[in-house]
A and B are shown apart, each in its own frame.
Chain A
Amino acid sequence: MPMTVTEIRQGLASGQFSSVEITRDYLQRIAQHNPALNCFISVTEDLALQQAGAADALLAQGNPGLLTGVPLAHKDLFCTDGVKTSCGSRMLDNFIAPYDATAVERIRDAGAVMLGKTNMDEFAMGSSNENSWYGNVANPWNTAHVPGGSSGGSAAAVAAGLAPAATGTDTGGSIRQPAALCGVTGIKPTYGRVSRYGMIAFGSSLDQGGPFARSAADCALLLQAMSGFDARDSTSSDTPVDDYSARLEQGIEGLKIGLPKEYFAEGLDSRLARVIETAIDELRKQGAEILDISLPNTHLSIPTYYVVAMAECSSNLSRFDGVRFGHRCENPVDLEDLYKRSRGEGFGAEVKRRILIGTYALSAGYYDAYYLKAQQLRRMIKNDFQTAFDSVDLILGPTTPEVAFKIGAKTDDPVSMYLQDIYTISLNLAGLPGLSLPVGFVDGLPVGMQLIGNYFDEARLLQVAHRYQQVSDWHLQAPEAFS
């Protein structure tokens, strides 16, 4: 059975194995299983072994950091100094950043070893990992199914035991949805908790980095390392970072958990609903008080999100013009040809669709009807949550309306694909933290449950998830084909 980060730390500390040994194990597993799963865009074997060697020296000195010697993977959206950062796009197939993203730098400073960079939907646009220039990723629980997206490579790598943990980013559900579909734990923190510096932007007001791991306790360690104020990101928060691990063991007696009726309404697969209800019963047994609540503007979140995210991405992706870096077409005849062919060849269909929609939404004459309207709705959605948090400590619901669908099932129907994010995107609009954890199976595929917290209440999300994981073993299950 694949190890957790917590177990690896114990094994390293006790001398049961070295970082080089465990890193070799993971590199070997990647070599063996990645051809079937396609989780990795780059595997940084030499760098990993070099970092592992350095970690072993630190461990020998008896002065390890939070993650010293722990191997993990980064979503290929985080810039890594000297290692290709493709963002899943042909546009950046040749791009090597001369800097590390802040999250990467902090995780490295905590002592972690980088195994490689994981596959993803191009520029984080997608819910199935079918939009990658590097090909789709398979779900380890059933390789005919999608792993979710956009951080599909990270989620699948953790589920298949190709890495004990990985980073991801979440603009509308891109951590929580693949975590749910792959049966792992993932947390999207409050907007501003993890620096966006060095994360290639999709929707700047929505993007947030966070970890995937096999347990809430592991996520606590990773998030601890990633979080905190960064002067290089003006939207990063200087709110002090809680000690997530220290708060894990606090009980959940008397905690008020709200169930939004809109999250259990039409659209949710009834088999998932039953799995979630069983998990809710377990939390009730653990002493939580379960209350019915309402988030009346939930139905507005998808149209609002797609206006905001696409407007922002249409501008964010303008820098990919073939002039200074990235894909440039052959023999451009003039400037316009350079722009048109470089971008036409460099971007995939979904990225083009979103740039077009976003450009339209910001155009003169449409700005008020779309962008400004979306900003108003965004405030209403945020207010729904604020009202709810007046009466509950936490909100709970499904992460996705259904389990992982078959590869190719929704590729011709973008709207049906967008509906996969119905329960996740409103958190990004509001800037709230959310966590997905595995709570059972339907058709042999994992079901994820989402916990939603108030601003900077990540510690509470981790604590509730941890308590559930103390009395369940869904998170410890591993797909047989990769065990």
Chain B
Amino acid sequence: MTAAEISQWETVIGLEIHAQLATSSKIFSGASTAYGAEANTQACAVDLGLPGVLPVLNREAVRMAIRFGVAIDANIDHQSVFARKNYFYPDLPKGYQISQFEHPIVGKGQISISPAEGEHKLVGITRAHLEEDAGKSIHDQFPEQSGIDLNRAGTPLLEIVSEPDMRSAKEAVAYARKIHSLVRYLEICDGNMQEGSFRCDANVSIRRRGSDQLGTRAEIKNINSFRFLERAINHEVERQIEVIEDGGRVVQETRLYDSERDETRSMRSKEEANDYRYFPDPDLLPVNISASDIAEIRAALPELPEQKKQRYISELGLSDYNAELLTANRDTAVYFETAFAEADATQAAVLVNWILGDLAGALNKAGLDITESPINPAALVQLVARIADETISGKIAKQVFDAMWQGEGNADEIIEARGLRQITDSGAIETLIDEVIAANPEQVEQFRAGKEKVLGFLVGQVMKESRGKANPGQVNALLRDKLK
């Protein structure tokens, strides 16, 4: 398929994100939500849907949902209602899921995303509602039979539904990352995609460019990483274009993304899907939320990524781009702020360059999270301070950084042990300069004849002689003096 063919089509994407709320007990029972326990050891009578037992709402889940709502400036109604979504499935113990339908806890809101450097876009959030998770069916442990693990049944989820505002897989990923970042800032979700704490379903459709009608959408499920999200959407878009250009029609259906084969395949068609027969759950009273509840939660909000970013720009003079990168992940921002608190105030930009440059590169290469960094914020501050006080040059600092990464000690120890202290003694540097002048008469001649560029070569030679330890600024000034 050519780019021209693709470009006739516009992609329209909306995401449904399920964020598992970080409560210690379930949304309607007292059972633990901890991940990874032996099957069915964390399912009480309520989670098992035994006869006669009743759900009791976990207020912490409500507070967490409101935190999210306040953070995206959403409407939060004074009353929210739980509803039953009825369908039969073995891992759904009651034969219905307690969810929300007509009166979700979080109404319309929006969030700003940055799909590329310097680009900004507002994405609408239709609603976010509370619901309980289902259990898990296990098909590979018992021959000829399926097992059911209800440990996950009743785990609180916040389902965040976006408007169909995204126009490319890249935008969808930027949006998903932004929500991921936000829920972690708010400390309402651990964001662990491998364990299923943060799951994305993508509603994808295409339409001819210029059309204002939405095309028929397919819902893609089972996406457990941002990389797969991008790939799944791109594949689905290609598939839909092919279907239409071959004279076919996209059917509304649920498709499963298979990351091993890198394709989506049909799971069930919406036309034959369940009628969920939603109705208000008579076992739970409507949740009343007062203006003062909301105000209290708003007052207790931490600084959010967007606010942090603006503060970094205005107070610390960081670039928009760096501020965005630094705040995208809460742990990166925490690392930076911990370091900055101990550093000289003038060193903000230098610190940021180290964090987003060498440190990010090394972490990425090693597949480590910044919270697992072998170089802690205080250690990085010491390294930066040694550059500032001219103990070492920026170039030597990279050597020291590598040694620190390998666990050879802190910056001072490494500088001492390896004898990397910068030479600032004019006498010593002049000796080196004299040697270089004597060894390079030709270049000296050229410089004196007005060829400015040659100075760089001569500085380089002096630095080489010093094995990088001479102060480059000093070398430059002294060399000029000598060559006058």
Chains A and B are bound partners: yes
Residues of the A chain whose Cβ atoms lie less than 8 Å from the Cβ of B50: 97-99, 319, 324-325
Smallest beta-carbon distance B374→chain A, Å: 49
Residues of the B chain whose Cβ atoms lie less than 8 Å from the Cβ of A318: 86, 88, 94-96
Decide if B51 touches A363 in the complex (CB within 8 Å): no
Alpha-carbon gap, A116 to B443, bound state (A): 111
Decide if A235 touches B283 in the complex (CB within 8 Å): yes
Q: CB < 8 Å: which of A197, A204, A231 contacts B53?
A: A197
Closest-by-CB residue of A relative to B85 is A315
Smallest beta-carbon distance A298→chain B, Å: 23
For the A-B complex with A197-B53, A233-B54, A318-B88 known, give 10 more contacts whose Cβ atoms are closer than 8 Å.
A98-B50, A196-B54, A197-B54, A232-B54, A232-B56, A234-B283, A311-B279, A317-B95, A324-B93, A364-B275
Q: Does B428 contact A (CB under 8 A)?
A: no
Q: Does B90 contact A (CB under 8 A)?
A: yes
Alpha-carbon gap, A87 to B283, bound state (A): 19
Q: Does A362 contact B (CB under 8 A)?
A: yes
Alpha-carbon gap, A339 to B88, bound state (A): 9
Q: Does A356 contact B (CB under 8 A)?
A: no
Q: Does A157 contact B (CB under 8 A)?
A: no
Q: A319 and B148 in contact (CB under 8 A), knowing A362-B277, A362-B279?
A: no
Smallest beta-carbon distance B61→chain A, Å: 14
Residues of the A chain whose Cβ atoms lie less than 8 Å from the Cβ of B148: 323-324
Decide if B88 touches A234 in the complex (CB within 8 Å): no
Decide if A319 touches B56 in the complex (CB within 8 Å): no
Decide if A197 touches B88 in the complex (CB within 8 Å): no
Alpha-carbon gap, A362 to B278, bound state (A): 7
Q: Does B456 contact A (CB under 8 A)?
A: no
Q: CB < 8 Å: which of B49, B53, B88 contacts A99?
A: B53
Alpha-carbon gap, A317 to B49, bound state (A): 11
Q: Does B282 contact A (CB under 8 A)?
A: yes
Q: CB < 8 Å: which of A85, A205, A315 contacts B95?
A: A315
Decide if A315 touches B285 in the complex (CB within 8 Å): no
Interface residues in B34-90 by Cβ distance below 8 A to A read 45, 48-57, 84, 86, 88, 90
Residues of the A chain whose Cβ atoms lie less than 8 Å from the Cβ of B277: 314-315, 359, 362-364, 367
Interface flags, B277-299, vs A, CB<8A=1, else 0: 11100111100000000000000
Decide if A198 touches B52 in the complex (CB within 8 Å): yes
Q: A321 and B95 in contact (CB under 8 A), knowing A98-B45, A197-B53, A339-B88?
A: yes
Q: Does A199 contact B (CB under 8 A)?
A: yes
Q: CB < 8 Å: which of A95, A99, A204, A325 contacts B283?
A: A204
Smallest beta-carbon distance B37→chain A, Å: 18
Residues of the A chain whose Cβ atoms lie less than 8 Å from the Cβ of B51: 79, 85, 87, 92, 95, 97, 200-201, 319-320, 325
Alpha-carbon gap, A203 to B279, bound state (A): 13
Decide if A371 touches B54 in the complex (CB within 8 Å): no
Q: Does A407 contact B (CB under 8 A)?
A: no
Closest-by-CB residue of B relative to A91 is B51
Interface flags, A175-197, vs B, CB<8A=1, else 0: 00000000000000000000011
Q: How many residues of B sit at the interface, in one of the four size bands?
A: 20 to 34
Alpha-carbon gap, A315 to B279, bound state (A): 9
Decide if A371 touches B279 in the complex (CB within 8 Å): yes
Decide if A312 touches B52 in the complex (CB within 8 Å): no
Residues of the A chain whose Cβ atoms lie less than 8 Å from the Cβ of B88: 318, 321, 339
Interface residues in A312-362 by Cβ distance below 8 A to B read 312, 314-315, 317-321, 323-325, 335, 339, 359, 362
Q: CB < 8 Å: which of B56, B90, B278, B282 contacts A335?
A: B90
Q: Does A283 contact B (CB under 8 A)?
A: no
Q: Does A39 contact B (CB under 8 A)?
A: no
Q: CB < 8 Å: which of B55, B282, B284 contacts A312?
A: B282
Closest-by-CB residue of B relative to A360 is B277
Smallest beta-carbon distance B357→chain A, Å: 54
Residues of the A chain whose Cβ atoms lie less than 8 Å from the Cβ of B48: 324
Q: Does A101 contact B (CB under 8 A)?
A: yes
Alpha-carbon gap, A320 to B56, bound state (A): 21
Smallest beta-carbon distance B46→chain A, Å: 9
Decide if B52 touches A200 in the complex (CB within 8 Å): yes
Residues of the A chain whose Cβ atoms lie less than 8 Å from the Cβ of B56: 231-234
Interface flags, B79-118, vs A, CB<8A=1, else 0: 0000010101010011110000000000000000000000
Q: CB < 8 Å: which of A234, A312, A315, A323 contacts B54?
A: A234
Smallest beta-carbon distance B56→chain A, Å: 6
Decide if B54 touches A367 in the complex (CB within 8 Å): no
Interface flags, A211-239, vs B, CB<8A=1, else 0: 00000000000000000000111110000
Closest-by-CB residue of A relative to B87 is A318
Alpha-carbon gap, A359 to B84, bound state (A): 13
Residues of the B chain whose Cβ atoms lie less than 8 Å from the Cβ of A198: 52-53
Alpha-carbon gap, A201 to B55, bound state (A): 13
Residues of the A chain whose Cβ atoms lie less than 8 Å from the Cβ of B285: 234-235
Q: CB < 8 Å: which of B45, B84, B279, B283 contacts A367?
A: B279
Q: CB < 8 Å: which of B49, B57, B283, B284 contacts A319?
A: B49
Q: A199 and B275 in contact (CB under 8 A), knowing A315-B86, A324-B93?
A: no
Alpha-carbon gap, A315 to B97, bound state (A): 10
Residues of the A chain whose Cβ atoms lie less than 8 Å from the Cβ of B282: 203-205, 235, 312
Decide if B283 touches A101 in the complex (CB within 8 Å): no
Smallest beta-carbon distance A126→chain B, Å: 18
Interchain Cβ contacts under 8 Å between A and B, 27 examples: A79-B52, A85-B52, A92-B51, A97-B52, A98-B45, A99-B50, A197-B54, A198-B53, A204-B282, A204-B283, A205-B282, A231-B56, A234-B54, A235-B285, A315-B86, A318-B86, A318-B88, A318-B94, A319-B50, A319-B94, A319-B95, A321-B88, A321-B90, A321-B95, A323-B148, A324-B148, A325-B51
Closest-by-CB residue of B relative to A325 is B50
Residues of the B chain whose Cβ atoms lie less than 8 Å from the Cβ of A319: 49-51, 93-95
Decide if B52 touches A199 in the complex (CB within 8 Å): yes
- Residue of B50, B57, B275, B278 most packed against chain A (CB within 10 A): B50
Alpha-carbon gap, A204 to B285, bound state (A): 12
Smallest beta-carbon distance A148→chain B, Å: 23
